[in-house]
């Protein structure tokens, strides 16, 4: 069974689940998952994990993300983007570029967002968008997010285009609405492209057609999601011990989690280092991926 990660360029009009289903059929494999849901109307980077690599999805879940978004002034919708029903509209005075840049800069740092009703967050076992489709509106608690960078790309009569780098859990639809309020305008997100998830970039992503044409070459090694972790090469005996779930002694690296490889440079999995006295440490298996799976 093949294992690895595919940097998919999700097209607009498909859900993230649709992409997973497509990859599952294309590779004839059951174990498929993805990191970071994209709205159906959005496009961009969607890392898809197949085979044993699905066990590593959690190590990309907390990665920051980058987007290019288009914001349109003058109205609001029930979904927060231009696919929803207009819930409010009013004339606006076109903000000056300096006002727009100041408003964007004001979001840098820690912020609070109220998740939109049209989201997959569960309350009392039900997804918010299911309640929204039934005409229900429930109270949602604010969530902390972090905006690391945000910059104006273009501005026009009806809206702006901006780039943003943010923490997981950030709703760009809500950010667009909040930017509008900061500028004393109603606003919705009218287009969204995710340009990065962790170190997976838009420039290197593949369309579904490109993936279908080169199935084998489209799959990156499972350890490509762990570029931020230090690595260690184990002896044959150490590799066998780790694969059997036993801890081994190693030199202290100062890192919590470590990528482990055998003498053939085959990725074994992830270990956790526990420091001991005298410069020694214990390496305990955390996630083991069987070679060749």
> For residues 201 and 64, what is the distance between their CA atoms, to the nearest angstrom?
12
* Bridge partners of residue 192, in order along the sequence: 69
Contacts 24+ apart (CB under 8 A), 99-104: 99/183, 100/152, 100/155, 100/160, 100/183, 101/152, 103/179, 103/182, 103/183, 104/150, 104/151, 104/152, 104/162, 104/179
Q: Which two tokens stand for residue 273?
A: 């280092």
> For residues 13 and 57, what is the distance between their CA atoms, to the nearest angstrom?
24
Longest Cα–Cα distance in the chain: 73
CB 115 within 8 A of CB 121: yes
39 is catalytic: yes
| 3-state SS class at 191 | strand
Catalytic residue chosen out of the listed positions 39, 81, 178, 262: 39
Mark 135-162 as b/e (b = at least 16 C-beta within 10 Å): eeeeeeeeeebebeebeeeebeeebbeb
Q: Which two tokens stand for residue 178?
A: 């909040």
Catalytic sites, residue numbers: 39
């Amino acid at each position: 069974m093949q294992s690895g990660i595919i940097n998919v360029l999700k097209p607009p009009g498909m859900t993230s689940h649709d992409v997973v289903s497509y990859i599952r059929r294309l590779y004839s494999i059951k174990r498929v998952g993805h990191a970071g849901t994209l709205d159906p109307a959005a496009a961009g980077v969607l890392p898809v994990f197949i085979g044993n690599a699905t066990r590593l999805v959690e190590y990309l879940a907390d990665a920051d993300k980058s987007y290019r978004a288009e914001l349109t002034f003058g109205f609001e919708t029930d979904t927060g983007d231009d696919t929803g029903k207009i819930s409010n509209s009013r004339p606006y005075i076109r903000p000056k570029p300096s006002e727009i840049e100041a408003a964007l800069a004001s979001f840098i740092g820690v912020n609070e967002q109220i998740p939109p009703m049209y989201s997959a967050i569960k309350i009392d076992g039900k997804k918010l968008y299911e309640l929204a489709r039934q005409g229900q509106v429930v109270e949602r608690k604010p969530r902390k997010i972090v905006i690391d960078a945000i910059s104006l790309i273009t501005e026009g009569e009806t809206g702006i285009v901006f780039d943003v780098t943010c923490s997981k859990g950030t709703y760009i639809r809500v950010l667009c609405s909040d930017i509008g309020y900061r500028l004393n305008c109603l606003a919705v997100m009218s287009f969204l492209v995710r340009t990065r998830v962790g170190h997976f970039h838009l420039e290197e992503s593949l369309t579904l057609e490109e993936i279908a044409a080169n199935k084998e070459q489209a799959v990156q090694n499972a350890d490509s999601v762990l570029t931020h972790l230090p690595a260690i090469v184990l002896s044959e005996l150490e590799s066998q011990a780790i694969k059997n779930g036993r801890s081994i002694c190693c030199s202290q690296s100062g890192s919590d989690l470590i990528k482990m490889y055998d003498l053939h440079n085959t990725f074994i999995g992830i270990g956790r280092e526990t420091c001991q006295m005298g410069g020694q440490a214990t390496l305990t298996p955390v996630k083991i991926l069987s070679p060749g799976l």
